[in-house]
Amino acid sequence: MKRILTAIAMSVTVFSMAGCCDKTAQTDDFQWQIDRFDDIKVMRYQVPGFSELPLEQKLLVYYLGEAAISGRDILADQNFCLNLPIRRTLEGIYKSYEGDRTSQEWTEFEKYLKKVWFANGIHHHYSGDKFAPGFTAEYFDTLLAATPDEVLPLDFAPREELVATIKPAMFDPALYAVRMNQTEGQDLLATSAMNYYEGVTQAEAEAFYAGMAASAGDDPTPISYGLNSKLMKDADGTIREIVWKEDGMYGAAIKQITFWLEKAAGVAVEPQKTIIENLVRYYRSGDLRDFDAYNVAWVRDTLSNVDFVNGFIENYGDPLGFKSSWESNANFMDTEATKRTEIISDNAQWFEDNSPVDPRYRKPVVKGVSAKVITVAMLGGDCFPSTPIGINLPNADWIRRDHGSKSVTIENITYAYDKAAEGSGSAAEFVLREEDRARMKEWGSIGSNLHTDLHECLGHGSGQLAPGVTGAEMRQYGSAIEESRADLFALYYIADPKLVELGLIPTMDVAWAEYASYMNNGLLTQLSRIAPGKNIEESHMRNRAAIAGWCYEKGMADNVIEKVVENGKTYFVVNDFEALRGLVGELLGEIQRIKSEGDFEAGRDFIETYGVRVDPVLHAEVIERFTALDLAPYGGFVNPVYELVRDEASGEVTDVKVTYEESYVDQMLRYSRDYSFLPSKN
């Protein structure tokens, strides 16, 4: 399984303090953080360089951005079949309620709605656990009683049936408790609330797709079975796929997406015009061969300044690893910063040849590796409001083998994170040694961005499978293993003297800053993101915990990483950076072997041993320390607002204006009003 959009892959560490290049900051008084609720902060990001684009490229960004917003409802329905009626009911109440909006219960209701917006549903965007409303069911009844029918989603069901359906889903903690269960030994479909399967057991789904793969034989260009469909069992026991396409499931939203994609094709130049037309063809046919043709053309285009992601792409939300969530973004190249990633991609073969991996599992010839730094201009679907900081696509192993991959680092997003985190006090709280704090302050941002470059451009694109291995053998552990592999590749090479030789880093202090930050996050600070009593469920958190935990244990005899307790506070300190690099290289070799050989048992044991369980005492301590700092461990963004400027006389578009003033609530309500195309029941 190769699913490599790093949805919060590096998860910018809370103590990353330095910003990126000065040109990213457009104004000194920009308000980066605009909302805060529960464990979430909402920020704005800037789009530097947009005003300098030619008009045709501005229009291309605008149209691709409209396509990115138009699929918003798809993700909500994919996450859980009742998300749309619940969200629309909550919004109807919010817009129409004329009672007391100053009470504690109303405040809790508003917070719940904000969380539903942020997570695209009633389950946490990261952990997958269902939110517990901070208001009572009785209070919800009073709100509903004051809400007129015309603002409720009665296309789902009559009022009484609507309430009887959504109320238990919201308030009964035993119902739909987790969006995606990954617990070995349980039926992962029966115990997950995600909406990719209906009436089908895990064994039936696995057998269904195993049969599809077997029927294809030894096809060197296999399609990604199940990527763009819901699997259902009919009343007569027949199992069938319902394809997501323009005249199929989610068709109303997909028609809006293709409308804007066709507008984008109208202003695009070749080869991008044909690439966009290929994507439209796929959305209309639902044929995954058309999707592969689009991906091949897309990955070959390394010259277009404006670029985009749009489609059913990542399978992090499916415990079986077949179905993919809808996501999109529109972006353009940061030409100056891209010089960094071009150096990396130009030397991809050297990195592959010198990897501490069994030569059988290295690529003898690295093909089509391209990388760039981008400025994201619009986020949508599974990229919004919580967004990646790096992307590597496409996911199909055969396309990556034969045609390569395209990687991006989203630097205006990392810059926004850094600016919003300034002065948080987190470094002083969680980093023990002044020398580490100083190193991270000076070099932390460079190290974080370079780690993302290496993770996306080389890590995901490295290695090869053994003959007969498909990549799907790791099942529910596949995402965590794949992210571990890419992170280890980045960690190993960020500390290689070759990076100094290539001019990518001026000093090894960049690597040591990243090592200290990564291990501290994996062993300590990311625990702030987990609810008390819970284990680690999210794949990226599992991979970071597993890497850091394995390195800590294996280096314990030599005190490579030391656990220090001072004044009742726990710290993890790297004492020997060179020895830590040796451990990283050893683990990289083993994780690549697991991936290449499809060794499910070894992969499961690695993740379960080091990446799942949480020390409850340390967990409680970290939460207490974060609470004292009043820090939100999760962050996401509102999008800028783009407006077409027209000549008063001719009506012709003369410019595209971008503004940043819209609030989180206003943007969510506007999106629900103007970009909500699906029925409440799909």
Q: State the DSSP string of 199-266.
A: S--HHHHHHHHHHHHHHHTT-SS---TTTTEEEEE-TTS-EEEEEBSTTSBTHHHHHHHHHHHHHHHH
Would you state the structure tokens that stand for residue 382, as one six-digit string? 């599974």
Q: Which amino acid is at 136?
A: T
Using pLDDT thresholds of 50, 70 and 90, give the confidence band for residue 573. very high
Residues 254-293 pLDDT 10s: 999 999 999 999 999 999 999 999 999 999 999 999 999 9
Residues 520-552 pLDDT 10s: 999 999 998 888 888 998 889 999 999 999 999
How many Å apart are CA 610 and CA 564, to the nearest integer? 20
Say what the pLDDT of residue 21 is: 38
Say what the pLDDT of residue 150 is: 97
Strand partners, 123: 130
Q: 3-class DSSP state for residue 638?
A: strand
Say what the pLDDT of residue 397 is: 85
How many Å apart are CA 183 and CA 199, to the nearest integer? 20
Q: Please tell me which residue, 288 or 453, carries the higher pLDDT value.
A: 288
Instruction: Report how far apart, in Å, the C-alpha atoms of 136 and of each of 36, 106, 616 are.
Output: 22, 10, 29
State the average pLDDT for the chain: 92
| Beta carbons of 371 and 307 less than 8 angstroms apart | no
Q: Percent of the chain at pLDDT above 90?
A: 81
The answer on pLDDT for 156 being more than 70 is: yes
Say what the pLDDT of residue 28 is: 54
The answer on pLDDT for 199 being more than 70 is: yes
Tokens 């009844």: give the residue.
141
Measured from the Cβ of residue 201, the count of other Cβ atoms closer than 10 Å reads: 15
Using pLDDT thresholds of 50, 70 and 90, give the confidence band for residue 390. confident
Cβ contacts of 446 within 8 Å, gap of 6 or more:
18, 505, 510
Q: What pTM was estimated for this model as a whole? A: 0.86
Say what the pLDDT of residue 182 is: 87
Would you state the structure tokens that stand for residue 443, as one six-digit string? 């070099």
Residue 305: exposure state from Cβ atoms within 10 A (0-12, 13-18, ≥19): middle
Cβ contacts of 114 within 8 Å, gap of 6 or more:
35, 37, 38, 40, 664, 665, 668
- Mean pLDDT of the region 602-613: 96
Residues 492-522 pLDDT 10s: 999 999 999 999 999 999 999 999 999 999 9
Say what the pLDDT of residue 18 is: 31
> How many residues comprise the chain?
682
Say what the pLDDT of residue 409 is: 86
- Mean pLDDT of the region 44-54: 97
Would you state the structure tokens that stand for residue 115, as one six-digit string? 């969380």
Residues 14-48 pLDDT 10s: 333 233 334 444 455 799 999 999 989 999 999 99
Instruction: Report how far apart, in Å, the C-alpha atoms of 15 and of each of 93, 237, 383, 425, 488 are.
Output: 39, 54, 23, 8, 21
| Beta carbons of 327 and 380 less than 8 angstroms apart | yes
Say what the pLDDT of residue 337 is: 87
**Lowest mean per-residue pLDDT among 21-35, 199-213, 603-617:** 21-35
Using the 8-state DSSP alphabet, how is residue 5 labeled? -
Of 68, 161, 64, 180, residue with least CA distance to 121: 180
Residues 93-129 pLDDT 10s: 999 999 999 999 999 999 999 999 999 999 999 889 9
Q: Which string of DSSP letters, residue by residue, matches 419-463?
A: HHHTT--HHHHH---HHHHHHHHHHHHHHHHHHHHIIIIIITT--
Interaxial angle between packed helices 104-119 and 664-674, expressed in degrees from 0 to 180 and rounded to the nearest 10: 60
Residues 401-424 pLDDT 10s: 899 889 888 999 989 988 887 777
How many Å apart are CA 682 and CA 677, to the nearest integer? 11
- The domains of the chain, with CATH numbers, are 22-73+253-637 (3.30.540.30)
Would you state the structure tokens that stand for residue 44, as one six-digit string? 């704005």
Cβ contacts of 385 within 8 Å, gap of 6 or more:
42, 117, 118, 379, 636, 637, 638
Q: Please tell me which residue, 341 or 577, carries the higher pLDDT value.
A: 577
Would you state the structure tokens that stand for residue 644, as one six-digit string? 């077409």
Say what the pLDDT of residue 24 is: 40
How many Å apart are CA 154 and CA 553, to the nearest integer? 56
- Mean pLDDT of the region 425-449: 92
- Mean pLDDT of the region 160-187: 95
Say what the pLDDT of residue 271 is: 96
How many Å apart are CA 20 and CA 416, to the nearest integer? 9
| Helix runs in 555-663, H state only | 577-597, 600-610, 616-629
Vertex 376 angle, CA 372 and 381, to 5°? 115
Of 269, 411, 266, 438, residue with least CA distance to 331: 411
Q: Which string of DSSP letters, residue by residue, matches 23-78?
A: GG---TT---EEEEETTEEEEE---TTGGGS-HHHHHHHHHHHHHHHHTHHHHHHH
Q: Which string of DSSP letters, residue by residue, matches 478-544?
A: HHHHHHHHHHHHHHHHHT-HHHHHTTS-SSTHHHHHHHHHHHHHHHTGGGGGS-TT----SHHHHHH
Say what the pLDDT of residue 26 is: 46
Residues 301-347 pLDDT 10s: 999 999 999 999 999 899 999 999 999 999 999 998 899 989 999 99
| Beta carbons of 410 and 387 less than 8 angstroms apart | yes
Using pLDDT thresholds of 50, 70 and 90, give the confidence band for residue 479. confident
Say what the pLDDT of residue 27 is: 53
How many Å apart are CA 451 and CA 555, to the nearest integer? 22
Residues 639-670 pLDDT 10s: 999 999 999 999 999 999 999 999 999 999 99
Say what the pLDDT of residue 369 is: 81
Would you state the structure tokens that stand for residue 161, as one six-digit string? 């049936």
- Mean pLDDT of the region 577-589: 98
| Beta carbons of 10 and 448 less than 8 angstroms apart | yes
